[in-house]
Every structure is written in structure tokens, then in C-alpha cells.
Amino acid sequence: MIEASFRGRLGSFDLDVGFAVPGRGITALFGPSGCGKTTVLRAVAGLMRLPGGQLCVNGAQWQAGRRFVPPHRRAIGYVFQEASLFPHLSVEANLRFGLRRARCAPRIGMDDVVALLGIAPLFDRPAEMLSGGERQRVAIGRALLSQPDLLLMDEPLSALDRFSKDDILPYLERLHAALSIPVLYVSHDIAEVERLADTLVLMQAGRVRAAGPIADLLADPALPLIHLPEPAAVIDGKVIASDPQYGLCDVNVPGGVVVVPGDLGPPGTRCRLRIPASDVSLGRHVPLDTTILNALPARIEGAETTRDHQMTVRLRLGADGEGAALLARVSRKSWDRLGLHQGEQVVARLKAVALAESGPPSGPVPDPAENRRG
């Protein structure tokens, strides 16, 4: 459990935040630029001291009353927006900097990090000769090797171009799958958050607007996320079968089974599906003559009208309406013509192309525990 509350002056407004999030998985601090996300992250690291703050991470009291543990005594790893590698050290010496100073027996070794982040080829290069994405991977490895109990990431992708981002995102997902270290991840990019976060802390002008599981917050009609230009639902699932002949997988999600293109791994592999509302259409019946593979029963929970005569319909998968949350975007005309209403059972049709899998990058996920045994 990570419990934090901080108060302080922040530019033109007061910072007053408090949240309690699970002590595992990725928690995204999400909000517009300047809302205080980075300040909160720096306060958690101890790089900034906000008087009257409270911070307890998985049982360790880092700040309370007059108690303030300085940053170098906190078991954190911090990945800054710019990689901030030490220019006077080689890639390897950068990686070993935190490893040498770790205060506990290494749980993550050099070999694990090298394999997880694919940085073996970078070892002999000077830090300044790396690309932006490579540098950030080394910085993440360096933070991991300091054996953190909590990994803090401050918009680690925002300084990178699109190409470098795509290069590094799979590695972050791989970390998420392979390691049990909780992560606080600051971002203002909803796409990153949708791909990575388990828990979301939504911030606005120095306050916490909402905190909870990401799937719930994305579909919450009271929150601004649903009004984003391209609202989407994220659903975590598990592979139950694969069909190599067609290159498809069956993924079990709460309230149904979704057919996903691609090889997501053997049965049992966890994966996340991102389903944009614009790729979901609604009907009363299961269509018989269509190219769409996925037509799932769902129940309408509610609908919001957007400015441009569109409706964002909130759904729950399953015949009983107890499954995963899903969003569908339909025109007001269709809504009225079909006479849809809240509580009604419908069939949600998912375009195959819409199924954005976000599994691990190609290649097997190394198990750090296994590496050490070897």
C-alpha cells in the first residue's frame, strides 16, 4: 500500500493531494501539464520536502510530522524525463552506480536487467553516443539495479520521439509483467496510461480528482476521461487458446471471450486489450453475415451525448451485465432509431482491427528468478 498526502504552494495554486494506491502494479499519476504530478513524484522521492506531508510505502514511513527520510536512504528508483546518465561514466559504470550502493542483497542482477532491457550491445559505448530511447533504457536499468522497493517514473517517454517511444514501451510492459516492484508513473499522455497503468490517480490543478482501477475511471461518467476525443476502454484478460492456422487467440475477459489477432503467447498469458469506443458498434442481434469476429452480449449502463451529435455509450460485458466495462460511440440518430435505453441488453460488435493487443514484445519474457538460479 502506498499512502501519500502532501500540501504546499505550487506556482499559481495550492497543492493539496492525498491518495492511497495498491503497493504493486503500475499507478499512473495522470493530468494536464502543470497540475502538480511531478511535484508529487519528487516529494515521494524526497527530492522536494513539502512540510506537513505524510508518506508511507509498503509499511516504511518515509515522511511523517518532523520525520523526513532523505532521498538517498529511500529505497526508490527514479527515472527522470531526460535520461540523465552520468556523462563521465560508461554505460556499464552508470548501471553499476546504484547497484554498488544498494542497501540490500540484489534481487535484480545485472544479467536480469541486461536481458529485460536489451542493453547488452550498449555496454561499450560512451553514454553520450546512445540514442534517446537507448539512454532511457539504460536509465531504467540503472534505477532497477539500485534494488528499489518503489520505482518512480517522471514522464520517461515524453522527451522521446514517436519512434523511440515505440521502441521503449514494450520494455516497460515487459518490466510490468516480469517484476513485482510497484511503479508510480507520471504522464500526461492517455495512450501511455491506457497501455501501462493498473491504477490511475487523476490530478487536476493540484488536487486528486479521482483514484482507482483504470478500467473504472476510464468509463466513469463523472470524470473527464470519457469526454476525451477518443475514449477507449481497457480490459485485462488471459489467453485461453490460440489458433495458429488463422493467427488468432482467444482471450478470456470478464463477461466474455474475445478473439484477438496475433500470437499473444501460450494459454495463461496475461494481456491487456484496448478497445476504442469508435470501434464498437451496437445491435440487438448477433449478426450472422458479417466479417466481424467479435459480437459480445453486453448491457447498457448509460449514455452521454457529446457535442457533435454523438453518443458515448457505457456498457458492461456479459448477459448479466457484470463483466468488464466497454465504451461504444454511436450517432444520436442510430441511438434514437434503434430506441436504445439504459439497462437494455445489446450485442456489442468489435471490429477486429480495433483489438489493440499490448502483450510483451516478441521473444520470451525472461524470469529473473530463473536467471539467478541458472
Partner 1 sequence: MAEGALLDAAMIETIMLTLKLATVTTVVLLLVGTPLAWWLARSRGLWKDVVATVVALPIVLPPTVLGFYLLIAMGPDSPLTALLGRKLSFTFEGLVVGSVVYSLPFVVNPIRNAFEAMGPRPMEVAATLRASPLDAFFTVALPLALPGLFTGAILGFAHTVGEFGVVLMIGGGIPGVTKVLSVTIFDYVETLQWAKAHILAGGMLAMSFVVILAMMLAERRLKKARR
Chain positions contacting partner 1, by CB under 8 A: 45-47, 70-73, 76-78, 80, 82, 84, 86-88, 97-98, 101-103, 128, 142-143, 146, 152
Nearer to partner 1 (CB atom), residue 151 or residue 327: 151
Nearer to partner 1 (CB atom), residue 101 or residue 309: 101
CB of 371 to partner 1, least distance (A): 22
Compute the CA torsion angle 80, 86, 90, 92 (nearest 10 deg).
-50
Which amino acid appears at position 16 of this protein? Answer: D
The residue whose grid cell reads 479521482 is 210
Nearer to partner 1 (CB atom), residue 103 or residue 373: 103
Nearer to partner 1 (CB atom), residue 86 or residue 123: 86
**Phi/psi of residue 244, nearest 5 degrees:** -65, -25
Nearer to partner 1 (CB atom), residue 15 or residue 45: 45
The sign one gets for the Cα dihedral 228, 229, 235, 236 is: negative
CB of 343 to partner 1, least distance (A): 51
CB of 98 to partner 1, least distance (A): 4
Q: Cβ distance 23 to 2 under 8 Å?
A: yes
CB of 121 to partner 1, least distance (A): 22
Give the list of residues 6+ apart from residue 132 with CB closer than 8 angstroms, or none: 83, 159, 160, 161, 164
Q: Alpha-carbon distance 353 to 115, whole Å?
A: 31
Nearer to partner 1 (CB atom), residue 46 or residue 231: 46
CB of 8 to partner 1, least distance (A): 18
Nearer to partner 1 (CB atom), residue 98 or residue 360: 98
Cell of 340: 436504445
Give the list of residues 6+ apart from residue 114 with CB closer than 8 angstroms, or none: 120, 141
CB of 27 to partner 1, least distance (A): 18
How many CB atoms within 10 Å of residue 164?
A: 18
Nearer to partner 1 (CB atom), residue 143 or residue 317: 143
CB of 197 to partner 1, least distance (A): 22
Q: What is the DSSP string of 255-316?
A: TEEEEEES---STT-EEEEEEEGGGEEEESS--SS-S--EEEEEEEEEEEE-TTSEEEEEEE
Q: H or E segment at 356?
A: strand 356-357
Give the list of residues 6+ apart from residue 247 with CB closer than 8 angstroms, or none: 261, 262, 263
Q: Alpha-carbon distance 265 to 159, whole Å?
A: 32
CB of 125 to partner 1, least distance (A): 14
